[in-house]
Amino acid sequence: MNRRSALCVLALAGLAATLAMGADKPNFSGSWKLNVEKSDFGPVPPPEKLTRTIKHEDPALNVSSVSVGPQGEIKNDSTYTTDGKESVNKMAGAEVKSNAAWDGNNLTIKYKREVQGMEISFLENWTLAPDGKILTIVNNLSTPQGDFALKMVLEKQ
């Protein structure tokens, strides 16, 4: 095999590996329901009910959430891109800028928002089980009173 043929084989192998890595990214699309028993809300009271409908056509990610708790029913629609570009959404009536990006096969979403006069930083880490039926979202919060994590386990419906 001459040098040119060897370089072509190496280039094709590199391209195939790159395409294979991109194909491994999970797709979060579906209707999801919170399993409160398997979740951990730490110091925050869990919602009575939480559902999410996710439409994921990478890099576009659309999330519609409905939660029911002491404040009643709260609906929220958010749109992200998984390529790290900034997204702007409304949460509880306030504009929130966020960035979503892949970290291996996990998706991370970073954002800050003001809650009761305090700035809180959020770092969500989304993981999809190999069978695609369990979505785990670990949300690390940084507040003036300290840091803590929430874990939501959602089951595909």
Q: What is the pLDDT of residue 4?
A: 52
Q: What is the pLDDT of residue 1?
A: 58
Can you tell me the distance from the alpha carbon of 96 to that of 119, in angstroms, rounded to the nearest whole number? Answer: 11
pLDDT, average across residues 81-90: 96
Closest of 88, 82, 87, 89 to residue 106, by C-alpha: 82
pLDDT beyond 70 at 149: yes
**Residue 132 — left, alpha, or beta (φ > 0 → left; ψ -120 to 50 → alpha)?**
left
Residue pair 121/107 in contact by the 8 Å Cβ criterion:
no
Question: Which stretches of 71-144 are assigned E, i.e. beta strand?
Answer: 72-81, 83-91, 94-103, 106-115, 118-128, 134-143
**CATH class label, 27-156:** mainly beta
- Among all chains, which residue has been given the structure tokens 């939660």? 67
- Which range is least confidently modeled, 80-84, 111-115, 136-140? 111-115
Q: What is the pLDDT of residue 9?
A: 43
pTM equals: 0.82
Structure token digits, residue 47: 């919602």
- Which range is least confidently modeled, 17-31, 43-57, 93-107, 127-141? 17-31
Q: What is the pLDDT of residue 17?
A: 44
For the stretch 31-74, pLDDT in tens is 999 999 999 999 889 999 999 999 999 999 999 999 999 889 99
Q: What average pLDDT does the chain have? A: 88
CB atoms < 10 A from the CB of 61, how many?
Answer: 22
Q: What is the pLDDT of residue 23?
A: 56
Is residue 93 very low, low, confident or very high in pLDDT (cuts 50, 70, 90)?
A: confident
For the chain, the structural domain boundaries read 27-156
Q: Which tops the pLDDT comparison, 24 or 111?
A: 111
Residue pair 118/143 in contact by the 8 Å Cβ criterion:
yes
Q: What is the pLDDT of residue 94?
A: 86
